[in-house]
Amino acid sequence: MESLLPISFLNDFIFCPKSIYYHQIYGNFAKSNYQQTSQIAGLAAHAPIDNKTYSTHLNILQNYEVYSATYNLVGKIDLFDIQKGLLSERKKEIKVIYDGYIFQLYAQYLCLTDMGYAVHKLVLYDLSHNKTYPIPLPHQDLQMFNKFKNLLKDMQSFQIEDPHFTQNPAKCNRCIYNNLCDYYSNEP
């Protein structure tokens, strides 16, 4: 039986599969011990969603737990307007639309549709610039959707001791877990 994949792990896995493992090591520590300024700012900006105080309208689901038996996914959505069928993923600031952002929306979409909701639109929302970026539904971009499904397969089969794993020094230098990683060296 395949294990459930947390939606929040999708972007992390793309950044570095080992970061998920290291995140679990820090699991019981206070976040202030390892989070960086940008992550703290992102959490603060996300607080109205996490606290479910963004909206009082009953047709707006916020910080809602979702699940897909079809794709073995579990997690939470940011905002879903039931009447409009609009699913929104909010980010503190969007400089680049990374695949991981799109894959988070795909996972949320698939969970909601598995749960019987009608989702018609996907958007990324940049809080800093008050800007929305429409994202095609998975069936409207089959190349990206296949990439997403391959990511799920890779995540299900990844082994922490994978001999074929290669680090990305540019990512390692920005990783909050690099002090734990046996691949990281900050020597030139």
pLDDT at 27 over 70: no
What's the pLDDT tens digit per position in 43-81? 555 566 666 656 667 799 999 999 999 999 999 999 999
**Domains in the chain, please, with CATH?**
5-174 (3.90.320.10)
- Which pLDDT band, with edges at 50, 70 and 90, does 112 fall under? very high
pLDDT at 17 over 70: yes
What's the pLDDT tens digit per position in 151-166? 999 988 887 776 666 7
What's the pLDDT tens digit per position in 84-101? 999 999 998 999 999 999
Give the predicted TM-score (pTM) of the model. Answer: 0.80
SS3 string, the chain, reads: CCCCEECCHHHHHHHCHHHHHHHHHCCCCCHHHCCCHHHHHHHHHHHHHHCCCCCCCCCEEEEEEEEECCCCEEEEEEEEECCCCEEEEEECCCCCCCHHHHHHHHHHHHHHHHCCCCCCEEEEEECCCCEEEEECCHHHCHHHHHHHHHHHHHHHHCCCCCCCCCCCHHHHHHCCCCCCCCCCCCCC
> What's the pLDDT at 150?
96
